Each structure stands twice: as C-alpha cells, then as structure tokens.
Structure 1
C-alpha cells in the first residue's frame, strides 16, 4: 500500500548518511553515503551481509549510536520533513522515539527488562507519551497483546520475559513498539532465531499493520527470501554503501549489481535436488578501517576490470525507480538463475 506525507514527500528521507567509529585498529567507515526514501504504508528492505552497515543505518534514524566511539555522523535524516539530526536528545526522547518512530530489536531477551513484568513495560510508553491512567494503560496493554496474537493476554501481563517463548517475547516487543501508534516501525532482524511458523506469523502481522494503519516499515535483514517476499522497495548494502536499489520484485528477478546477483544465487531453493551444495561468494568483505580505493566489491567480483580500482561508482539511475553503483552492471533483461554462471565475457575486464 503506497502513501506519502501530507506535504507529498517521503515519510523518511536519509540523505548521504555517513557514520564513522573509532576502533583500536583505526577509524571504521561503517556507513558511507547512504541515501534512501520510505513512503507511508510501504515496507522498505535493507539487505546485505553481516557488517554491511544495515543496523547502524537504521539505528542512526533514532540516534541510537554508541557516543563514546562515534567519530563522525554526517548527512541528513528527515522524518515527515523534520530534521532529526537537529533535535536535542530531550526532543528525540519526548517527540520521536516510541511516539512517532518505534523500533523492534533483533534480540528481545536483551531488549526487554528481565526484572520487570511485561504489563509494566508495555504500559510505560502509554503513560509517558499518551498520559493514560494506570487502569487505561493496563486495558490498552491487554488489547495490544491480543492484537499481536499473545494467548491469555490478561495473565501474560504479570509474566517476566524469561517466562515467555522467543516468539512471544518478540510479539511483546512489537506490542511495545505499536503502543503509541507510530508512523514508522524499524524492525532490525525481527525474526532471527525464530522457527519458520512464528516468522510467518510475525511477518503477516506486519503486513496487516501496513494495510490497516498505513504504517511504514524499515525491515533490516540478511535474509533475501524474506526481503523479496515482504518488501515493496529494497536497498542492497555492501561495505557501508548502497550498491543497488529499486522495487524488490524487480531487483531480485533481474539483479544488476554483481553482488546482488551473487546473493540471489546463494539463496537455498526448494526446487533444488536434495544435498545440493549452496553457492557461496568467494573472498571476504573488506576491512572497514582500511577500505580499498575504488569499488569495495572488486576483489570478489567476477566482472571487475582495472578501472574498478580508480573510484567507487556512484549510485546511478538505470531504469525507472532503479539505481545501481557499478561500472559493469548485468543486463536488466537477464533474470537470475540459480545454476547459471554469474560472469560473462566483459570488455576491459575479467570473466
């Protein structure tokens, strides 16, 4: 379901975001010039290998970064036209976090307070941001638990996090995130370590919330199948940069960037015979404290040429709604095939 803000612009706009951290080995360029837009009522996927900068990008929206190691945070993040980087910590806590933008973290066991009952943790934002009475907050908490599919919600209010299953804890996190009717939900690996049945239930819940509430979702994952099935738009990240973006269906049906194509070919497929070995991407991602000049993916890329070492290619429009950062992108008309070779003879480059 598509939508926009009242002013006609995107609900969330990230422009040229750069986040660098100090480490014992040097300054790590964790996010390097990321730009994306999310419309109201849509799901935007952020996908890539571990360490590609997905979580730091999503946490930057709410300013949830480790201040002690933060060396540099540049660029712009605008929510409904409001510059979030220009807000004080007090303004972020009072007006934005939990109220207009909520976040579901990867591990609910560490995100939830282990010594506080579930009911109290759901009621806190309701009383803080909405000014509800204790009774009103309790009744609303029961209804939220019922909406996210928690059985016997009245009894669960008195439970502690360790008394719930992993799927139930994740649903509690979603209930807390939805308690103040946010416009944007950031879900950072929300189904990691959950069985496939619970994963499907949580993702179906997200779909329903987008449809019923016009909720926008930034879905962070390394699972291409999940992103391809559940997202309207996708941004593929590698070494802190977006290397390809566009409608999820189009991007995964015919990837342009060699990295996206290799990721897609590495997906396990039901049609493969039993005991089929999974494809892998050769090599390792570059060290973020010592990024090579030129394209960060060139040492692992089967289509790289000498000119790929000169400068990192900018994200350039390649088709309506699609962009790619590559000097030798794959043909848009060539769909990905699980068993096909990735490379082809490329003038001026290697096969």
Structure 2
C-alpha cells in the first residue's frame, strides 16, 4: 500500500534537515519575543471562507472538505493565519497588545504535486496583532530577512502596497473595466474573477505572464495619500536598516485579507523552478474584527518548511547537523553486556549523548 499522492514520508537525512530548520526558526521567533500558538489541524469551513476569500483558488479548488457526523462542514486547514486569528479572538489573546505568536504545522491543499508544492506540507508562520504601524511591518520583514540570512539563502525581497480599503475599491473598479475589454485573452478562471476580485488576476499562474496583465492599471495610481505616506515610511525605514528590496506592484498575494503592505522573498536559486517564493506575508486590517474581535489590525508571514529545507540541503552538509554521540561504550566480551548497558543508561540519565 502506497502513501497518498502529494504526500511524503519524512525520515533519514531529510528528517535531520527538517528538525534543524525548525529549531533555527523557533530560535529566531523566541529572540523576537513570539510565543508558540497551536491550533487544530481542521477547522469549520467558514473560518477560511470568511478570511481567505470565496474567489481564491484555495477556497474554490484546493480545500480538503468533509462533513462530521452532525453534518457540519469542516476542512483540513489550507493555511495558518485564519486559524491563528480565530484562536486569538476566541481566547481573547488580544487583551494585551501587541500580541506576537508563531505557529508551525501541517497544511493541506489539493494541488498538482510538483517540486516545492505538495498536497500536505509544513508551514511556519508569525502573526503580530497591534496598532497599524509601518515600523511594525518593517520589524516583521526584518525578521523574515533574518531567517533568509541565517540559512545563507540567496533570495530577493519584493514589497508592494495594495492600499487601504478605499484605494483597493478604486483600483478594483479600474481593473474590472480594463479586463472586461480583454476577456478574449484571459483564462476561464481569470474571467470568473473580473467581477468578484480582479486583483487576483495579477498573480494568476498563467495570465500573469501575458502582456495584457502586465499592461493593466497599476495600484500605485490609486493609492490614497495616507497609503502613499505609509508605504514611503516603510521603504525609508527598510533603507535605513540596510534591507535591500524591490517594489513590485504584482505582489498582491493570493489571499483576500491583505491590505497595505505585502511582501515576498523569492529564491535566486536556479533549482527551484516556478515555486520560487520562500516567504510571503503582509498586513491585514479587518481580519480580527471579522472574527468578532476588536477593530485592530495585524501583520505576519508564512513559509513552507520544505522549500527552506530544499535550499538548506544545497548549503549545509548533513553531517554538520547530525547529532553525534559524546561517548561510545564498547563491550569487551559477551559477559560485559549487562555492565555496559547499565553504564550507558546512567550516562544518558546524566544528559550525555551515548551510544
């Protein structure tokens, strides 16, 4: 009997790399003052429909759905932010702000398996709930940058502003008008998004490569004065902190809850193919309120642990991270087995790595 398509058994060297990556990620989170947050591996379907957005590929095509014995619609979680915010609101963890949490765990999406993209995958993410502040956005981006540097990964940071609600409404109307005049050049998926969420066309896997999408109106033309100032403050601070970045107006991210800042770290390795996004995130303003919490925003990011592992394997020899015994105890003869076993047991109780 074989494992399900799009899943992997983790063992041997890959398991060592994975545990190493997770330990570094947790160490960085701890240094930044984040506390660990664990949520259920399955949630009510509305948790993701409400937050991720009905027009996204995740909701429309990729969720693993089932009904429990009482007929309630459940899903295996496809991403981490929605469940984290649901938990923060339900448990009133927002009482003392800012609230900073990190999570890790298995996510599930019904996708076409390929290098860097599986149906079951491990995700690490962080969320900060607090006041709307470009310096908070910068801190999160700098933390992501520290992760990239800690693993000596060659990557490039792209940032964008998708503006506040007013800016996005104006931009969305302009995109609707533009794409309605170019329907004949778009895929069926993109045509379906024109009236519901035309910004999603900009990062469509197929249409984003077409000239008609590249020549679409730019979000920068529709940003409010407040959003322009917010984005400029973010850029100025990143520059002062010597964080290199490129403004890319196609970075809109694939989830509906984002506003203002969005960003991605993309691998420069020629081994990753089309799955080059290593870390992605941004700001969200209404998500906490949508789940019944106060009117407070947040910012965060997530990364696929498998993609980081693939990068690390190219940089670090597995023997450099393999745990080696501090002490070897050898049998002299058959009669010494019990004595040796007793010595090994006592050494291990004392905390020595023994074999």
Greater helix share, structure number: 2
What's the TM-score once normalised by structure 2's chain length? Answer: 0.23
Larger radius of gyration: 2
Q: TM-score, normalised by structure 1?
A: 0.24
